[in-house]
Amino acid sequence: MIKRSIIVCFLALLAWHLAFPYLSRWYYVIPGQQRANYLRAQKFVHDSPAAARVIVGSSIADRLPDQALGPNHVKLAFPGGGAFTGLEIIRHSGRRPSVVWIETNMIMRDAEADLLENAVAPWRVELRKCSAIFKEEGRPSNFGVGIVKAAVAKACKVGGSLADGSGREPEAAKGPAPEQGMLDDVMRANRDHFERRPDVADLAKRVERLAGFVDELTRAGCQCVFFEMPIAASLVNLAEPVAVRKAVGDRFPRGTYHWLEFDSSRAYQTSDGVHLVPADADFVFERMLDFEKKQLQ
Amino acid sequence: MLFTSFPFLVLVLITLLLYYAPPLRSWQAMVLTAASFLFYSWEAPLLVILLVFSITINVVTSYYISRGAPGRQKFWAVTGVALNLGALLFFKYSPMFARTFFGGDHGSLGHFLMTIPLPIGISFFTFQGISLVVEVFRSKQPNDPFGYPEMVPASFKQHLQNTMLFKSFFPSLVAGPIIKAHEFYPQIRSKFVRDIPWQTAFRALVTGYFLKMVVADNLKDSTFWIEYPFFLGNSSLTLVTLLFGYSMQIFSDFAGYSLIAIGLAALFGYTLPQNFNYPYISQSFAEFWRRWHISLSTWLREYLYLPLGGNRRGNVRTYFNLFIVMFLGGLWHGAAWSYAVWGTFHGLALAAERLGRNWIRLPENRWVSVLRALTVFSFVTLAWLLFKLPKFSDVLSYLGAILHNRAATDPALVGHVFFYSLPVAGYYAWYLLKQRWSRATDYEFLLFGIMLAAIILDSGTTGKFIYFQF
């Protein structure tokens, strides 16, 4: 029984390896935020261009528009994480981007160990080189969930067709946008978070850690640019953002390091206090492109 | 150390090699104990101090109950149980009492109590310790109705060695199944490779890892939307689906863990008790508790419900006993009042069911059975909300959101939950099919092969076992 089970397993893997490249992506979805993060990290490790321009950060920078990024920009901004996750992935992947944009908003968050292990553990990288079925995009459930999602969408008469068949990268399931009336609690939770003053020693340690990454990247010929993503005016001057802004600003002074500044008089629109609405995210990204053109070599 | 981690795989392989190496045969128990201590101390080495303390309590008290002066048996038994419970109360419930009765100001007693860390697995190994003390005490009573075997050898050193293994046995150390002393001690002897029940181990390990890594770990990525404040933006249908998804997740997580523990123990020649017996097809709450976390419910029955009088002292006392056992059983799960409410909910359901049995007679047919199973499953699922949302106000908000939210349903979220719940439905369906079609087992190799492939291709992101927190 054990031997026969192992043979069936091997045959199933082989069949999937052979069939996967030919399967239509019509019913296909990357289910869940976490797995979308894994997919993005794996794409950077395996498929990113040699001198990519990488944006590292949290869900706040994740709002920058995917469609506008183009082939040379890669977003290692992970919901639930912060800049350290992206920086660790760059360090361990062996890839050397030409530019690294560092979002400073969420440096109080550690690198996400599981994501890092999944993206850059040597045995996983080698396995994924052997067959695409070991990549996030090769999971059988991407098709299964896609089919069920289409059926649910049809039954509920929402969202139209699941996949548009355009061949675009499938969008991750990020959950619904909350209704305006329900956002008070979310705003309150964000306010509670930002009102906490970070531990001074901990913050200093993180800033030094950031400096270690910046030195390493600079030595490798990469240009680092710091930026703080705009958030709601009611949150921007609370204890944590102020402390982080000062600590990072003191360690990486404006004259010595590249900084992209945003117009603080502009009223940025957010969906929940911290995440920009698409129009403002587009505006921010245009500023970044402009900065690259004018300030970077 | 997680069962699903790479270091754990290395630990098991090395331990197996040493354990069955002929020159080390007389050291088997020590090899397994050393591996268990390494397993337990992997992330927090200081925790070993508590484990050693707990072992010491139980070795000394059980030894003196068995080998000490006959007149002092009760003293040692009471001391053993009190010290076990004292350690559990101190480490597990201090923060809860501090939150309830004291403030959390810096420098205050409340703040000190709130900062006491919860040692992983304390609820499990403490209950095992109590079972040792109680069973040794019972076995020394004249006319022992339980017929427990002799568990304490004359040599203190030997008893120490056996008890170290019993208390620290790594497959069941941090999340059960809770092994009773009489189930484990008779199994302590030399083991040989030829005696390994390979099929049992293979079936348990593949099913366990599949339930944990493919089902529970994938469902986890959706059910996190149940947490506050994320649930606020979801539609009623999505919220109900998420709740049922969490029900599937908690089953897969805990039943998966138990199966992995059973499979691992089998590799080392030990038999652990079955912990789950398809609980979601139960047609009553009483049946549910005979099928869910069986090692805990039998523990509570043997060491709490029966000593309280069980159902032998009249109806009122029986209802009270059920209520108190489930209330404490709820609190055992977690140091928060929501767990007590969860236990009370089940206690009341058991009492109401017992009461209703005398008044209502339902016809016996398939449809009524299905209806009863669906009703029990739905109530059980509703009660899991108290597990996921320990703040009672969040539970009420969630229920309110189910009733009032008018947001559009998210097909991706619903589809995800539904898809990863299907294997659990299949797991139950296969069990029911096997009961009707005996040849089904001839084709099980196909299922195990596919489950293996799914573990390789479709495991979710790593997640801690839900029951670790208890």
The long-range contacts involving A189-196, CB below 8 angstroms and separated by at least 24 positions, are: A189/B228, A189/B229, A190/A235, A190/A272, A190/A273, A190/A274, A191/A234, A191/A235, A191/A238, A191/A273, A193/A240, A194/A235, A194/A238, A194/A239, A194/A240, A194/A241, A195/A238, A195/A239, A195/A240, A196/A239, A196/A240
Minimum distance, in Å, between the CA of residue B374 and any CA atom of chain A: 22
- How far the first Cα of chain A sits from its last, in Å, is 64
- Could you write out the DSSP letters of every residue in B333-398? H-SSHHHHHHHHHHHHHHHHHHHHHTT-----SHHHHHHHHHHHHHHHHHHHHHHH--SHHHHHHH
Looking at B194, B219, B245, the residue that finishes a domain is B194
Q: Collect all residues with Cβ–Cβ distance below 8 Å to A88 and sequence separation of at least 6.
A: A111, A116, A120
Shortest distance between the Cα of B45 and any Cα of chain A, in A, equals 20
Q: Confirm whether B111 is a catalytic residue.
A: no
Among residues A161, A107, A237, A110, the alpha carbon closest in space to that of B412 is found at A161
From CA B177, how far away is CA A171, in angstroms rounded? 41
Separation of alpha carbons B370 and B143, rounded Å = 45
Are B221 and A32 in contact, with CB atoms under 8 Å apart? yes
pLDDT at A167: 34
Cα(B202)–Cα(B267) distance, rounded to whole angstroms?
9
Cα of B205 to nearest chain A Cα, Å: 12
Is residue A45 a part of any domain in this protein?
Answer: yes
- Whether residue A118 is contained in a domain is answered as yes
- What tokens does A244 get? 């982080």
Cβ distance of B449 and A12 shorter than 8 Å: yes
pLDDT recorded at residue A179: 56
Please report which confidence band the pLDDT of residue A175 belongs to, taking 50, 70 and 90 as the band edges: very low
Task: Mark which of B194, B222, B253 sits at the end of a domain.
Answer: B194
Confirm if A186 and A273 have CB atoms less than 8 A apart. yes
Q: How far apart are CA A198 and CA B42, in angstroms?
A: 29
Q: Pick from B267, B419, B443, B450 the residue to mutate for testing the A interface (most A CBs within 10 Å).
A: B419
Regarding whether B263 and B164 lie in a shared domain, the answer is no
- Nearest Cβ partner for B462 among A9, A114, A156: A114
| Averaged pLDDT score across all residues of chain A | 84
How many Cα atoms are found within 13 Å in the side-chain-facing hemisphere of A96? 8
Mean pLDDT of A195-205: 90
In the sheet that holds A223-227, the strands lie side by side as A73-78, A53-58, A99-103, A223-227, A258-260
Give, in degrees to the nearest 5, the angle at Cα B362 between B358 and B363: 140
- At A79 the pLDDT is 85
- Indicate the SS3 state at residue A270: strand
Short-list B141, B145, B419, B214, CA closest to A29: B419
Residues 6 or more apart whose CB falls under 8 angstroms from that of B434 comprise: B440, B441
pLDDT for position A162:
37
Query: How many residues belong to chain A?
Result: 297
> Is A141 domain-assigned?
yes
Q: Which of B275, B285, B284, B225 lies closest to B251 in space, CA to CA?
A: B275
H or E element at residue A76: strand A73-78
The reported pLDDT for the residue numbered B418 is 92
Task: Tell which of B218, B225, B230 to mutate to test the A interface (max A CBs under 10 Å).
Answer: B218
> In this structure, is residue B218 part of a structural domain?
yes
Tell me, yes or no, whether A266 lies in a domain: no
Per-residue model confidence (pLDDT) at position A169 = 37
Q: E strand or H helix at B299, and its extent?
A: helix B294-300
Interval A186-202 mean pLDDT: 86
The reply to whether B216 and B343 lie within a common domain is yes
Verify that B205 and B345 share a domain, yes or no: yes
Nearest CA in chain A to B222: A32
Q: Which amino acid is at A245?
A: R
Range of the domain at B122: 6-194
Cβ(B299)–Cβ(B180) below 8 Å: yes
Instruction: Give the residue on A whose Cα is nearest the Cα of B205.
Output: A2
Note the pLDDT of residue B63.
Answer: 94
Q: Which residues of B touch A38 (CB under 8 A)?
A: 461
Q: Are B338 and B386 in contact (CB under 8 A)?
A: yes
Least CB-CB distance to B221: which of A32, A139, A186? Answer: A32
B210/B171 same-domain check: no
Task: Assess A14–B contact: CB distance below 8 Å, yes or no.
Answer: no
Eight-state DSSP code of residue B311: T
Tokens of A214: 């910046």
Residue length of chain B: 470
pLDDT of residue A222: 92
Fill in the amino acid letter for B253.
Answer: D
- How far, CA to CA in Å, does A61 sit from each of A47, A280, B46, B187? 21, 12, 40, 58
- Closest by CA to A108, choosing from A190, A247, A203, is A203
* Same domain as B324, residue B438: yes
In chain A, positions 186-215, which contact chain B (CB-CB < 8 Å)?
A: 186, 188-189
> Of B159, B182, B293, B333, which residue is the catalytic one?
B333
Q: Are residues B343 and B451 in the same domain?
A: yes
- The contacts of residue A59 (CB under 8 Å, 6+ apart) are A77, A78, A79, A80, A274, A275
What's residue A68's pLDDT?
Answer: 73
Closest CA to B135 of B70, B60, B65, B55: B65
Domain presence at residue B25:
yes
Domain tally, chain A:
1
Closest-CA distance, B182 to chain A, in angstroms, reads 32
Q: Which residues does chain B have within 8 Å of residue A59's beta carbon, measured at their own beta carbons?
A: none
On whether the CB atoms of residues B247 and B292 are closer than 8 A, the answer is: no
Chain B residues in contact with A151 by the CB 8 A cut-off are 415
Window A:101-140, CB contacts with B under 8 Å: 114-115, 118, 133-134, 138-140
Q: What is the DSSP letter of A276?
A: B
Does B326 reside within a domain?
yes
Say whether both B117 and B82 belong to one domain: yes
Claim to verify: residue B424 and residue B285 sit in the same structural domain: yes
Give the separation between CA B433 and CA B426, rounded to whole angstroms.
10
Hey, what are B358's tokens? 């005398």
In a domain, B327, yes or no: yes
Give the list of residues 6+ apart from residue B464 with CB closer than 8 angstroms, or none: B2
CB nearest to B225's CB, from A139, A175, A179: A175
B236 in a structural domain:
yes
Query: What residue in A sits closest to B452 (Cα-Cα)?
Result: A9
- CB-CB neighbors (< 8 A) of B267 in chain A: none
Structural domain including A180 reads: 29-225+242-260
Q: Which one, of A62, A83, A77, lies nearest residue A278 by Cα? A: A62
Helix (H) or strand (E) holding B279: none
Residue by residue, pLDDT tens for chain B (470 residues) are 788 888 899 999 999 999 999 999 889 999 999 999 999 988 788 888 989 999 999 999 999 999 888 889 999 999 999 999 999 888 888 877 777 777 666 667 777 777 777 788 888 999 999 999 999 999 888 877 778 888 899 899 999 999 999 999 999 988 879 999 999 999 999 999 999 999 999 999 999 999 999 999 999 888 888 887 778 778 888 899 999 999 999 999 999 999 999 999 999 999 999 999 999 999 999 999 999 999 999 999 999 988 888 888 888 888 888 888 988 888 888 778 888 899 999 988 988 888 888 788 877 888 888 999 999 999 999 999 998 888 888 888 889 888 887 777 788 888 889 999 999 999 999 999 988 888 888 889 999 999 999 999 998 877 665 655 55
Q: Residue B104: CB partners within 8 Å, gap ≥ 6?
A: B98, B110, B111, B114
Helix axes B47-67, B73-88, angle to 10 degrees: 160
Mean pLDDT of all residues in A69-86: 87
Q: How far is Cα B123 from Cα B46, in angstroms, rounded to an integer?
A: 17
B8 touches chain A (CB under 8 A): no
Residues pairing with A57 in the sheet: A77
Q: What is the DSSP string of B416-462?
A: HHHHHHHHHHHHHHHHHHHHH-GGGGGGHHHHHHHHHHHHHHH--S-
pLDDT 10s digits, A254-287: 989 999 988 878 888 888 888 888 899 998 898 9
Closest Cα in chain A, distance from residue B442 (Å): 9
For residue A176, give the DSSP letter: P
Contacts of A118 in chain B (CB under 8 A): 461
Q: Tokens in use for B344?
A: 């009370």
Q: Same structural domain for residues B187 and B228?
A: no
> Quick check: B425 contacting A, CB < 8 Å?
no
pLDDT at A253 over 70: yes
A interface test, pick of B5, B219, B413 with most A CB neighbours within 10 Å:
B413
- Answer with the one of B159, B194, B229 that is the final residue of a domain: B194
User: Which class for A91: exposed (0-12), middle (13-18), buried (19 or more C-beta within 10 A)?
Assistant: middle
Answer yes or no: is B1 within a domain.
no
For the CA atoms of A77, A79, A83, A88, what is the dihedral angle to 10 degrees? -80
Q: Tell me: do B168 and B205 sit in the same domain.
A: no
**Domain check: are B170 and B217 in the same one?**
no
| B238 close to A (CB below 8 A) | yes
Over residues A187-198, mean pLDDT: 85
Q: What is the pLDDT averaged over residues A217-224?
A: 92
In the structure encoding, which two tokens stand for residue B235, read together? 């539609």
Distance from CA of A170 to the nearest CA of B (A): 12
For the stretch A15-37, pLDDT in tens is: 999 998 888 777 777 777 788 88
What is the domain count for chain B?
A: 2
Give domain status of residue B329, yes or no.
Answer: yes
In this complex, is the C-beta atom of B404 within 8 Å of any C-beta atom belonging to chain A? Answer: no
The single-letter code of the amino acid at A291 is F
Q: Say whether B412 and A173 touch across the interface (CB within 8 A).
A: yes
Residues B8 and A37: their CA atoms lie apart, in Å, by: 25
Q: Measured between CA atoms, how close is B303 to chain A, in angstroms?
A: 40
Any chain B CB within 8 A of the CB of A178?
yes
CA distance to B90, B106, B119, B152, B336, per residue, from B97 (Å): 10, 16, 17, 37, 9
- Hey, is the C-beta of B267 within 8 angstroms of any chain A C-beta? no
Lowest mean pLDDT among A79-83, A155-159, B49-53: A155-159
Q: What angle is formed at CA A177 by the lines to CA A171 and CA A183, rounded to 5 degrees?
A: 150
| B404 vs A contacts (CB less than 8 Å) | none
In a domain, residue B139? The reply is: yes
Cβ(B29)–Cβ(B161) under 8 Å?
Answer: yes
Q: How confident is residue A192, by pLDDT bands cut at 50, 70 and 90? A: confident
